[in-house]
Amino acid sequence: MNMIAAVDSRWAIGRKGQLLVSIPNDLRHFREETMGKVVVYGRKTLQTFPQGMPLPGRTNIVLSQNPDFQVKNAKVAHSLEELLEMLLEYPPTDVYVVGGESVYRQLLPHCQTAHITKIDRSYEADAYFPDLDKDPEWEITADSDEQTYFDIAYAFLRYERKSPKHH
């Protein structure tokens, strides 16, 4: 399974339910990476999407504890167990966890690859991605050249788990 996120220099990912910064090239990277694949996210993340709608061209699975929560054009899993069961239908390499903080934390142990857009700046934030630089199980296996968007420097990094756990 994959994770995909844009993080600042302190691994922050959001503030008050919004992304910290919107970088067009990062959004394009996200779309190219996830198109035709399975995206997994929490209900609050759904609300940050355009019109609060599931992402087109992808299989959307929303994790929500609320047993009554339903959303058009998406599947809903009401627990981590139910989600993992649902995901057995798909090749793990086609599954992308896209947020938010609690969903990343819950699914990190099940992921092998993380596509991280690392932004060289720190923002005021209230949501964070697990710091993979401090986690000895993860290593950077690919690193783009530094990119810039106005005065924001960033790079696309790929982290992989060193010794894949077999579930």
pLDDT, mean of residues 133-145: 96
pLDDT tens for 15-28 read 999 999 999 999 99
Indicate the pLDDT class of residue 164, thresholds 50, 70 and 90: low
Tokens of 156: 């696309």
pLDDT tens for 46-86 read 999 999 999 999 999 999 999 999 999 999 999 999 999 99
Q: What is the pLDDT of residue 163?
A: 73
Identify the structural domains of the chain with CATH numbers, from first to last: 2-161 (3.40.430.10)
pLDDT, mean of residues 36-40: 98
